[in-house]
Structure formats: structure tokens, C-alpha cells
Amino acid sequence: MPQWKKNVYVLWLAVFIAGICWTMVMPFTPVYLEQLGVTHGTQLWSGIIIAVSSLCAMVMAPIWGAVGDRYGRRMMMLRAGVCLMLGYVGMALVTGPFGLFGVRMLIGLLTGFTPMAIALVGVSTPPRDVGRALGIVQTGYPTGAIIGPVVGGVLSDWIGIRGASWASAAMLAIAIGLVLVTVKEEFTPPALGKSSLLGELHAATSHRLLMAIVLITALSQAASMALEPVLVPFVKQIAGANAPGWLAGLLFSLPGVTFILLAPWWARRGERVGFEQTIATGLLASAGLYFLQTFVRGPGTLGGLRLLSGAAGAAIDPGVAALLATVVPRPLRGRAFGLNQAAGAAGASIGPLLAGWIASYIDTRFVFILTGLFCVVGFFWIKRVVTPQLRLAGNAAAELAVDQTV
């Protein structure tokens, strides 16, 4: 088996484990805050704590991406994995909400395990296979996210969130070991000259098409992450205060089922009709499904709509990653995926903050309207801004090819 294929499968497994670990604890932040003594504004506190990690990641992700371009993405992935493992240990040891806030802030500053795995696939896979390879690896996290919330719900009832955090740390150590032993990167350090990290990042952010594409990730993550601080309390609201923890975990994880089933299909379709077309379709469908979730009255209806949301979402994030891999030169892909993570982190901080405030001071159901609006904006952005820029870039490349043959 070629090394690049081995990398894809092992990185899928590592990202799968990381998805389990993160979603074993993240959806239950409101429950953990109650255990830590927070009695008022739990959803707002939860939104703030989720957002701080994303805000810090927004700042650091492009820097870690540029460092990966200089020194190797595999090394940066291992570094991020160790820091995240220690973050889970810290979460298990905190004694109050401010301690949890601090640990989540450090996680945002120092990690980036999954984005670096995606960048590693983007640079180590042959160009003709990179779209499908990225689609495969990006299903790893949502596959883990199917299992994680259910396991986390069971563990929260059995040994508490602290125990789930210890379990996450142990499982992530296994993923780090797999990457260390199995994954290889043929990395040649670039000739740095007088360039600096800030100069390289400025060059990347000057790429207009790149920045237009990553805004889609910001809007998509704002929509999906807005539900994190409110979904578990909302399930208790519609299913009853005595609803078991596993039910909320199951409903949280359902989109991952259809995501992993349909992501390969969306990837193949994107290769035929253009990833910008499949992303637009996914955003429009997601908007409609989020709006419908405003009106649910029971967990069954919510579960069905979340399954459909996963099917639509499978077109968006893998499509963005594949689009980046096709328009960004290989030596710059670490920075490109770092900027993409930063954009996602910006959205993942704005979404929970707004959702926590809306749920605390207006009504949880209005959060679903907010998420739908994020997707509507994303749809019009890709139609009116990204697609025309892609056409301009394609025409420029065609003209250059003609000039070189004359």
C-alpha cells in the first residue's frame, strides 16, 4: 500500500478518536458548570467557555499552520495532540468555572490536532486523489462525534464529567501513538531566506480567493457550534427534565451518521460539478432544516431533522477543504488550512456567544433561526463572491497556459 494511503487511513482513525474525545465532554459543558457551582446563567457561561477556546484558536491557527509549513505538519500534529491530551487532564482537575475557562483558553492557544491532520493529507496525497482523501479524513471527526456524545452521556450519569475527561485524555494518547509510529511525511524544509512568519501570513491573507473561501467555514461553524451550549438543555426542555443523559447525547450525535454516509458521495459530485456548487446546495438545505427545527415539539422530530442536517452539512466542510486544496499551491497549504481553521474558530466563537445570550434572555428556539440565517448568508456569499472569483482564476490560468504554448 502506498504511504499516502496508509497516512489517510491512520489519520482518519486518529481524527475519529479525537472526535470521540472532544464530544464526550464538550456537549455537557452546561452540566459540568452546574457541578462546578454555577447556578445562574449556565447557558451564557457555557457559550463563553466554548467561545474562548475558539477565539484563541482563531489567533493561533494561522501561526501553527505557518510553523507546519516550515518544520513539518506531522510534528505540529503530534505537538497539538500532546497539548490537547494535557488539556483534558486539566479539565478533569479544575474546581471552578474560571479554572475551566482558563483550560479551554489554553486548549485553543496550543492545539489544532484535526486541522493539522487535514493539512498533512493535503500535502502528502497525489493531486488527482486529494479531494477524495480529504473527504475520507474529514468523516473521521463526525464519525467519532456519533459515538462521543452517547458515551459522554452514559459516563456523565455514571462517573461524572471529570471521569469522561480522564477517559478522553487516555484515548487521545492512543491516537498520538498511532500517528507517531505509522504516519510519515516527506518533508523538505523550505528555503526561508529573510522571510518571517508574519510576512508569510500576510502573503497568505492577501490571497483574495483563499480569504473568500474560508469565510464559508466561518459561517458554517457559527451555525453548527451555536447549538453546542443550548442543545442539551433544549432536549431536556422538550423531553422532560428527567430525560436521561444518553438521549441528549444521541440527538447531539445524529448529524454525524448521515455526514459520514454522504460525505464521499458529495466529494464525488463535487469533482464532477464543482465543489462551489455542492457547498452552495448544502448551505441552502441546511438553512431550511435549521429553520424547521424552531418548531419541533418532541425529540423524535428533532432527531429526524438533525439527521437531514448532517446530510446537508456533509457537502460543506469537506467541500471547502477540497476547494482549498485545488486553488492553493502545495507549499502554502499549511497556512491555508491554518487560516481556514482560524475562520472556523471565529465562527465557532461568535455562534455560541450569540446563542448563549439568546437562550438566556430571549428563547432557545430563536437560536435555530440564527443558525439558519448564518447558512443563508453563506449561500449568497458563495454564489455572489466565491463563484465569480473562481471563474476569474480559471480564466487567468487558461490565458497563462495559452501564452506559454505560443
pLDDT, tens digit, for every residue of 384-393? 999 998 888 7
pLDDT at 275 over 60: yes
Question: Closest Cα to residue 78, out of 180, 222, 231, 205?
Answer: 180
pLDDT in tens, 181-205: 999 888 776 655 544 555 555 655 6
pLDDT at 147 over 90: no
- pLDDT band with cut points at 50, 70 and 90 for residue 402: very low
- pLDDT band with cut points at 50, 70 and 90 for residue 21: very high
Angle among Cα 4, 5, 10 to the nearest 5 degrees reads 100
Query: Rounded to whole angstroms, how far apart are CA atoms 342 and 346?
Result: 6
All three cell numbers of 128, joined, read: 488527482
pLDDT at 9 over 90: yes
pLDDT at 403 over 70: no
All three cell numbers of 351, joined, read: 455562534
Identify which of 259-263, 268-272, 376-380 has the greatest average pLDDT. Answer: 376-380
pLDDT score, position 288: 97
C-alpha of 236 from chain center: 26
pLDDT score, position 18: 94
Helices and strands in the chain, H and E counts? 19, 0
- Are the beta carbons of 74 and 357 closer than 8 angstroms? no
C-alpha dihedral, 75 to 336 to 21 to 94, nearest 10°: 80
Q: Please give the domain boundaries of the chain with CATH numbers for all domains.
A: 3-183+199-405 (1.20.1250.20)
pLDDT score, position 405: 36
Query: Rounded to whole angstroms, how far apart are CA atoms 64 and 204?
Result: 13
* H helical segments located in 183-274: 197-205, 208-225, 231-239, 245-273
Work out the end-to-end distance of the chain between its first and last CA atoms, rounded to an integer number of angstroms: 42
pLDDT score, position 66: 77
Q: What is the mean pLDDT of residues 277-290?
A: 96
pLDDT at 406 over 70: no
pLDDT in tens, 151-169: 888 887 788 889 999 999 9
- pLDDT band with cut points at 50, 70 and 90 for residue 135: confident
pLDDT at 49 over 80: yes
- Are the beta carbons of 186 and 124 closer than 8 angstroms? yes
pLDDT at 90 over 60: yes
- pLDDT band with cut points at 50, 70 and 90 for residue 341: confident
C-alpha dihedral, 178 to 180 to 184 to 187, nearest 10°: 150
pLDDT score, position 257: 87
How many residues appear in the chain?
Answer: 406
Written as one letter, the residue type at 117 is A
- pLDDT band with cut points at 50, 70 and 90 for residue 318: confident
pLDDT score, position 371: 95
pLDDT score, position 204: 59
164 against 228, higher pLDDT: 164
Mean pLDDT of the chain: 84
- pLDDT band with cut points at 50, 70 and 90 for residue 180: very high
Query: Rounded to whole angstroms, how far apart are CA atoms 263 and 225?
Result: 19
142 against 8, higher pLDDT: 8
287 against 71, higher pLDDT: 287
- Are the beta carbons of 375 and 290 closer than 8 angstroms? yes
